[in-house]
Amino acid sequence: MQLTESHKQYWSKNLRITAVLLAIWFVVTFVVGFYARDLSFNFFGWPFSFWVGAQGSLVIYVLIIAYYAHYMNKLDQEYDCAEVEED
Amino acid sequence: MAGMTPDAGGGFGGAGQSNAAFKQQLNKIYAWYTGGFVLFVVVLAILEQMGMGREMIGYVFLGATVLLYAGIGVMSRTNDAAEYYVAGRRVPAVYNGMATGADWMSAASFIGMAGTLYLTGYGGLAFIMGWTGGYCLVALFLAPYLRKFGQFTIPDFLGARYDGNFPRFLGIIAAILCSFVYVVAQIYGVGLITTRLAGVPFEVGIFVGLAGILVCSFLGGMKAVTWTQVAQYIILIIAYLIPVIWLSVKQTGVPVPQLIYGSQLEKVTAREAELIKDPKELEVAPFSRHVPMLFLRS
């Protein structure tokens, strides 16, 4: 199928936001995990890296998903390809 | 499961309703359901005060909930392919989230995660981060495209998107591997729980659990599974939150466990250090052998 200019714009915006969110995901998951011993300072009673693994990263994951859904909804509306609510 | 015949399972949204009306009907149904569950618990509490035995209560709880889920499963039976595989793609987002949450909070988390974290410490967090972080990856890479794609399975989607059978094959391997490992853990958990709660032998417990699962999902596919899971979520979230909040209020007066968790953990660690040096503990130290696998089958 022929890709118009707006198709390409939409897709590149999508790729960009995905890359950003994926980078955040990577830092919270693997970077913190890799430096876990160095990062075990006291954080409200928790060792920090343990808290990130148990609670913090989960909060960030949910935020990532929520933000992605919100951003893509707006993008869909902007480029006129939103899912229509049949009524 | 043939073609696009109209679904025969009334009660959970006929094909002709608008999404808004459907959502309102759902809200009403599940509000009544939650009320009914609270009433059920109150009635059982009263019965317990009047002297009902612990085993009877176990049986009643187990039987009632399994019957309930089976009922929902039967009510959601369907012949429509889209309804069977993807619940007609009409499940509102909040309810889908509840269903997914119920999947997360099942036996594997309740028994498996708790045990793994206790035994392995920081390493066990890999599972927690994997389950929710992996969900992140699904949301970014697969879910939106799969929905737009219109077919039903991820291997199908991979085959079409990346042109060929090899991506499809990889998808199949991944799906089977993940499902198999998870299902084994779940079935084991089901057997353990039925054994403890109802006193039946382990093997019988597994078959009872499997029968329950089949009744809930066989007739209605994804549609039945989703609505059953939403019902389970309501019970699960109440069951998970009450003990934790109760503990939190009793120990610190703060009803939000996440906030006081850390300071309580510090106290537990300090107390543990005390106990290890206690003379009574040192007396029995030569006699205790840490054998992790043994207690699973006891």
Listed by start position, the domains of chain B span: 19-255, 256-298
pLDDT of residue B167: 92
Task: Establish if A71 touches chain B: CB-CB under 8 angstroms.
Answer: no
A36/B contact by beta carbon, under 8 A: yes
- For A29, the closest of B133, B144, B261 (CB atoms) is B133
Rounded-to-integer distance, Cα B131 and Cα B283, Å: 42
Contact yes or no for B266 and A55 at CB 8 A: no
- What percentage of chain B has pLDDT greater than the value 70? 91
Does the pLDDT value for residue B290 go beyond 60?
no
Say how far residue B97 (Cα) sits from the centre of its chain. Answer: 12
pLDDT digits (tens, 9 = 90+) for B179-215: 898 888 888 888 888 888 777 888 888 888 888 888 8
Q: What is the pLDDT of residue B16?
A: 57
pLDDT score recorded for residue B186: 87
Lowest mean pLDDT among A73-87, B49-63, B260-274: A73-87
DSSP state of B7: P
Strands of A1-87, DSSP E: 42-43, 46-47
Structure token pair of residue B64: 């009632």
Q: Pick from B108, B130, B117: which is nearest to B190 by CA?
A: B108
Q: What is the pLDDT of residue A14?
A: 93
Largest CA distance in chain B: 74
pLDDT of residue A21: 95
Q: Which residues on A lie below 8 Å from B264 (Cβ)?
A: 45
Residues B37/B235, Cβ–Cβ less than 8 Å: yes
The CA R_g of chain A, rounded to the nearest whole Å, is: 18
Q: Determine contact, residues A46/A32, Cβ cutoff 8 Å.
A: no
Q: Give me the numbers of helices (H) and strands (E) for chain B, helices first please.
A: 14, 0
Average pLDDT, chain B: 82
- The pLDDT of B217-243, averaged and rounded, is 88
Which CA distances in Å does B211 have to A7, A17, B57, B107, B199?
49, 45, 21, 16, 17
Lowest-confidence range among B91-105, B118-132, B203-217, B276-290?
A: B276-290
CA distances from B203 to B193, B210, B234, B247, B257 (A): 12, 11, 29, 35, 37
Q: What mean pLDDT is predicted for residues B20-24?
A: 86
Q: How confident is the model at residue A74 (pLDDT cuts 50, 70, 90)?
A: very high
Task: Kindly list the residues of chain B whose beta carbon comes within 8 Å of any beta carbon in chain A.
Answer: 18-20, 122, 125-126, 128-129, 132-133, 135-137, 139-141, 144, 258, 261-266
Q: Is-contact B158 B171, C-beta < 8 A?
A: yes
Q: Which of A72-76, B42-46, B106-110, B271-275 has the lowest mean pLDDT?
A: B106-110
pLDDT tier at B4 (50, 70, 90 boundaries)? very low
Residue range B154-169: mean pLDDT, rounded: 89
User: Smallest Cβ distance to B129: which of A18, A29, A46?
Assistant: A29
The secondary structure of residue B287, as a DSSP letter, is G
Per the prediction, chain A carries an average pLDDT of 87
pLDDT at B2 over 60: no
Please name every residue paired with A46 in a beta bridge, in sequence order, or none if there are none: A43
Cα–Cα distance, B47 to B59 (Å, whole number): 13
Could you give the CA distance from residue B16 to residue A4 in angstroms, rounded to a whole number? 36
CA separation, residue A73 to residues A6, A70, B91, B105, B243 (Å): 16, 5, 17, 29, 38
Q: Which among A22, A57, A62 is the nearest to B140, CB-wise?
A: A22
Provide the whole-model pTM. Answer: 0.80
* Contacts of B244 by beta carbon, 8 Å cutoff, 6+ apart: B257
The pLDDT of residue A83 is: 66
Contacts of A76 (CB under 8 A, 6+ apart): A82, A83
